[in-house]
Chains A and B, each alone.
Chain A
Amino acid sequence: MKKKLLSVLLSTAMVAALATGCGSSEEATASTEDTATEAAASEDTAEEAPAASGELIKVGIINNDPNESGYRTANDKDLKAMFTEENGYDASFAYSLKNDEQITAAQKFIQDGVDYLLLSAADTAGWDSVLQDAQDAGVRVILFDRTIDADESLYEASIVSDMDKEGETAVNWLKEQGLSEYKIIHLQGVMGSAAQQGRSGALDAAVASDGWTLVTQQTAEWNAEKAQQIVQSVIDSGESFNVIYAENDDMAKGAVAALDKANISHGVGKDVIVMGFDCNKWALEELLAQNWNYDGQCNPFQASYIDEVIKKLEAGETISEKVIIMDEKGFDAETITQDDVNIYGI
């Protein structure tokens, strides 16, 4: 009897844990109404009475799962901080990594009569009809972070990073280093993703034009462990190299773990140049400590851009340039400051 009771308790507890676990993360698709009121409630609401709820701008935000990466977490935090009642918004969030679930969420937001639909699409295709519905219903659409294959007339603005430019900035920095020879380990992200294509493209071009050597070019699928195994394999085979070009910070970290194990020095003025992307706070700290050399930003802070666009539209202005490219920096270990880490670290 005792045992049975225990097992029941156990399973109930587990189910509860699961439920809350899901809730915090995937608060998915259809029923998602994780309104920002929650965030607002925790902050002091007394201050400067917000506009009456009728005057709040109603926005529906469709994003990828914030657990996907540090980038996405920062992105989500930024959006949640911007679209609050104090700032005059009534925001609802929906998260999914799957396109069809995102489309369902969009349809629901349109039915709910949001004023703006903010969208970071999981996939570029398949959005035409639902965006047409939005337009018919008078819902204005703003894309952020990712573009889609749809007619420009269907959305008001698209706020994106230019991955090609990120890659070029990084490769230009690398050229400036003026190494006598370039022997590069290239750790790629998940093949086919926009970030991978942009960041690989720039390097491939430079390899072709400047006669650099690729010691190995492998996808580590954004994964630190895989990156570590790949670099370990190069070290084990005894080939020499002097640059690690990792397309995100995690993979750079994995690579550095392999270097440390083999006592290969890395960082400013050392044997191997380490390059990463995304500007995680911990990664910028590595730069500050001169263990890494370069980190390219992939700006997750689109909220202020979006806010600006909405303000303009509300004021009756038109948006001249639909595609808005965000400023993105590349940090050099020799010039980075603690302030940079605090401001740009995600």
Chain B
Amino acid sequence: MQTNEAKKSSASSFFMKIVKNQCFIPLATLLLLAVFNLIADPSFFKISLGYNSAGNPVLSGFLITILDSGSELAILAIGMTLVTAATGGQDISVGAAIAISGSVLLRVLCGTNSRPETLQAPIIVAFLVSCVVAMLFGAFNGVLVAYFKIQPMIATLILYTAGRSIAAWINNNELPVISEPSFTYFGEFIPGIPIPTPFFIAVACMIIIGIVLKVTNLKLFTQAVGINESSSRLNGLNPAFIKVLSFVILGLCVAVVGLIKVSRISTINYSVIAKDIEMDAILAVALGGNALSGGKFNMAASIIGAYVIQFLTTTLYKFNVQSDALPAYKAIVVILLVVISAPTVREAFSSMTKKLKVKEVA
């Protein structure tokens, strides 16, 4: 009898542990969506192997699409999580910054001719240049936030407004088109590998950030600055530097996503590329249970959050929801999240489980 009870309580404490884990909410949402799709139409989970027009084997299916498109978001979520944690604000210029870095990338690849027969520079060089540019723009945002003490949303509003014009200006308003097939590898498939490349790029980014968080103090310092700037300074940290650093890292993420985006269609449309992606990235951070007011963060939860959002988007597309209505559905998710994570609801929830426990014991 006693052992039974002990088991029960250890089981329920195990359950509580799971519920308390930050990854719980995004994973539970994912599960909910998966079950919904399973009931509505199991073919959602079908994955089939085919060949693309270049004759290479590729996997296709909704799940592959989620892995593919969600990877862009996952990469951005990494940077956005750090910015959120360090500054307690969000960068809303991500989409515009992607337009800039994509534009730079194409500019370097194309040189002066907007439709070159051969690439004017190796892709890696163009990518590195776009990284530098994106990091500089990140630093610009960071300096406004850290040194001029402008609220992040306001500071990044500048680039949000001007970014796409800057992107167009970089290419003299022309629309460069790349005809080199190897350029499409980054956004589509590498010949012979049936899984979309963006997923591999995202995994690489996750591994890199994982290692960085392990071998440096990025996490501790970022959290400390985000929670209490004054204390951090008295502990020898330079809060302004940490904040700028977080924006620069986000800039790097932006450049990577810029490469994927531009590679997907081998060209760019300045006014619509990565439109509203910043909102999805911020949503991913929130869905991961990270406080948008900064401080503690959980990187894994943000990344899972990103894929969950793509899962939602793809599900809605599957059910033929008008794509201009998607933001409304996402808004509902945000509202639910905010309500669930509100302290009053949490308290009510925990007191409910406690009562259940008391009953169990009785």
Contacts and interface: CB of A to CB of B under 8 A. Distances in A.
Interface of A: 7, 10-11, 14, 17-18, 20-22, 24-26, 65-70, 73, 191, 216, 218-226, 228-230, 232-233, 235-238, 250, 253-254, 257, 259-265, 280-282
Given A67-B164, A69-B271, A219 B177 contact: no
Nearest to A238: B43
B142 to A, nearest CB: 9
A224 B168 contact: no
Contact of B65 (A232, A265, A281): A232
What are the nearest 7 A-B pairs in CB distance? A21-B166, A25-B165, A14-B140, A233-B317, A67-B168, A223-B272, A24-B169
Contact of A228 (B43, B164, B165, B265): B265
Give the residue among B55, B143, B261, B274 with the most A Cβ atoms within 10 A.
B143
Contacts, number: 138
Given A225-B264, A236-B318, A250-B269, A261 B58 contact: yes
Nearest to B51: A263
A263 B53 contact: yes
Contacts of A191: 324
A67 B174 CA distance: 9
Given A225-B264, A228-B265, A236 B173 contact: no
B173 A67 contact: yes
Contact of A14 (B55, B136, B169, B320): B136
Contacts of A21: 162, 165-166, 169
B42 interface: no
A22 B165 contact: yes
B265 A11 contact: no
6 contacts: A14-B137, A21-B169, A24-B165, A219-B324, A263-B53, A265-B53
B136 A223 contact: no
B147 interface: yes
Interface of B: 43, 46, 50-55, 58, 60-62, 65, 69, 115, 136-137, 139-140, 143-144, 147, 158, 162, 164-166, 168-169, 173-175, 177, 188-189, 261, 264-265, 267, 269-275, 313-314, 317-318, 320, 322-324
B271 A18 contact: no
A196 B272 CA distance: 17
A262 B57 CA distance: 10
A70 B51 contact: no
B65 A67 contact: no
Contacts of A26: 165
A10 B272 contact: no
A42 to B, nearest CB: 14
A70 B168 contact: no
Contacts of A229: 65, 69, 313-314, 317, 323
Nearest to B139: A10
Contact of A262 (B60, B62, B271): B60
A298 B225 CA distance: 55
Given A10-B136, A232-B65, 12 more contacts: A14-B136, A25-B166, A25-B168, A66-B173, A73-B173, A220-B323, A221-B275, A225-B265, A229-B314, A230-B317, A250-B272, A263-B50
A345 to B, nearest CB: 11
Contacts of A259: 53
A236 to B, nearest CB: 5
A331 B322 CA distance: 30
A282 B144 CA distance: 40
B239 to A, nearest CB: 14
A25 B271 CA distance: 12
B113 to A, nearest CB: 13
Given A222-B272, A235-B60, A253 B264 contact: no
A216 B320 contact: yes
B194 to A, nearest CB: 11
Give the residue among A219, A225, A232 with the most B Cβ atoms within 10 A.
A225
A240 to B, nearest CB: 14
Contact of A225 (B144, B273, B318, B320): B273
Given A10-B139, A233-B317, A263-B51, A20 B169 contact: yes
B53 A11 contact: no
Contact of A7 (B50, B143, B174, B261): B143
Contacts of B164: 67
B318 A17 contact: no
Contacts of B189: 261
Contacts of A261: 52-53, 58, 60, 188-189
A305 B361 CA distance: 88
A260 B187 CA distance: 13
A261 B67 CA distance: 15
A32 to B, nearest CB: 14
Contacts of B320: 216, 218
Contacts of B43: 237-238
A67 B271 contact: yes
B162 A262 contact: no
A222 B269 CA distance: 10
A260 B53 contact: yes
Nearest to A229: B317
B86 to A, nearest CB: 17
Contacts of B165: 21-22, 24-26, 65, 67
A264 B60 CA distance: 12
Given A22-B162, A233-B314, A236-B65, A254 B143 contact: no
Contacts of A7: 143, 147
Contacts of B62: 233, 236-237
A338 B61 CA distance: 39
Contacts of A282: 115, 175, 177, 267
A224 B272 contact: yes
A225 B275 CA distance: 9
Nearest to A21: B166
A224 B175 CA distance: 13
Contacts of B169: 20-21, 24-25
Nearest to A19: B162
Contact of A68 (B60, B271, B273, B314): B271
A10 B269 contact: no
Contacts of B55: 263
A147 B274 CA distance: 31
Given A11-B143, A191-B324, A233 B60 contact: no
